[in-house]
Amino acid sequence: MLEIRSIKKVFEAGSINEKIAINNLSLTLEEGEFVTIIGDNGAGKSTLLNCIAGEYIVDEGRILLDGIDITYMPEYKSSQYIGRVFQDPLKGTAYDMTIAENLAIAYAKDKPKNLQPGIRKSDIKMFREKLSLIQLGLEDRLNQKVSLISGGQSLAMTLLMDTIVKPKLLLLDEHIAALDPKIAKKVLQLTGEIVEKEKITTMMITHNMKVALEYGSRTIMMHEGQIILDIKGEEREEMTVESLINLFGKKAKHDLENDRILLSR
């Protein structure tokens, strides 16, 4: 489904601030796979998602989605196949337009942007049904502006907007990190439900190891721009948060030792 072939991304190459954000990374995702991504700050998790989405263009390597080469595809084109939910709820909605209008824009994602009416009567019914699934009472507020609803509500709505037309790939970049715990849990549950029901291939970054193991079917750990751990199936089921942290310490330390060897030469 998604095939990442040894990609590399360097920021400010050649300068004193040169940072290798992604270093020769390869990854293959099967159809319907739900991968959770963990790793320390600066491990390259967000950069990886940004490269896939086309916001950054990789320096080396190839990215294929369902056989289509999206390596150099501009963001607005690849986004026809990819759904993205950002951490900042404001990034996912047009706040000065109504809830219905926002959903309509999302629903028209794979349709030509022509002079057809933006919203039809039949759309309204469908929007209402979809909104009632997330149980936030938004189905009765279709004609209110998004600026009037809370951050959690608008994030849940973004999730709905990104899946209303089934994407080939869904990218979630710590999408619940800015929410209060109660709403965060709800949005996370909702994420699990939608992804499972629609069988969407998904990549989700999280800082919470428990969440990383609880949700999805596969977990990868990143460190210094590389994947240092990739678990699924039985191995993953037996994994606890503690053993994961231990493993991370070991793997990351291993790298540290490598660095030392390099430096001492």
Partner 1 sequence: MNIYTLQSALELGIIYSLLALGSFISYRTLNFPDLTVEGSYTLGAAVSVMVTLAGYPYLSLLAAFVAGAVAGSITALLSTRLKIQPLLAGILLMLGLYSINLKVMGNRANVNLINHRNIYSIFEGTIVEGFQTLITASLVLAVVLIILYFFLKTRLGFVLRATGDNHVMVRALGTNTDFTILLGLSLSNGLVALCGAMIAHEQLFADIGMGIGMVVIGLASVIIGEVLFGTNTLLRRMIAVILGAIVYRLIITIVLEFGMPATDLKLISAIIVAVALSMPVIKEKMELAGRKKANLRGGRSNAGN
- Point out which residues bind partner 1 (CB under 8 A): 53, 74-77, 79-80, 83-84, 86, 90-97, 101-102, 104-106, 108-119, 161-162
For residue 125, the minimal CB distance to partner 1 (Å) is: 18
Asked if 7 contacts 63 with a C-beta cutoff of 8 angstroms, the reply is: yes
100 or 195: CB nearest partner 1: 100
- The strand pairing partners of 172, in sequence order, are 85, 204
Q: Which two tokens stand for residue 245?
A: 């942290």
For residue 100, the minimal CB distance to partner 1 (Å) is: 10
For residue 187, the minimal CB distance to partner 1 (Å) is: 18
17 or 116: CB nearest partner 1: 116
For residue 205, the minimal CB distance to partner 1 (Å) is: 16
51 or 106: CB nearest partner 1: 106
Residues 6 or more apart whose CB falls under 8 angstroms from that of 167 comprise 81, 82, 83, 200
| 236 to 65, 68, 102, 210, 232: CA distances (angstroms) | 25, 30, 38, 12, 5
For residue 192, the minimal CB distance to partner 1 (Å) is: 22
DSSP characters for 27-96? Answer: EEE-TT-EEEEEE-TTSSHHHHHHHHHTSS--SEEEEEETTEE-TT--HHHHTTTEEEE-SSGGGSS-TT
Q: In what order do the strands lie in the sheet with 82-85?
A: 82-85, 169-173, 201-205, 34-39, 218-223, 226-232
For residue 81, the minimal CB distance to partner 1 (Å) is: 9
157 or 227: CB nearest partner 1: 157
93 or 206: CB nearest partner 1: 93
Q: Which two tokens stand for residue 146?
A: 């998004």
97 or 178: CB nearest partner 1: 97
Q: Is 233 left (phi over 0), alpha (psi -120 to 50) or beta?
A: left
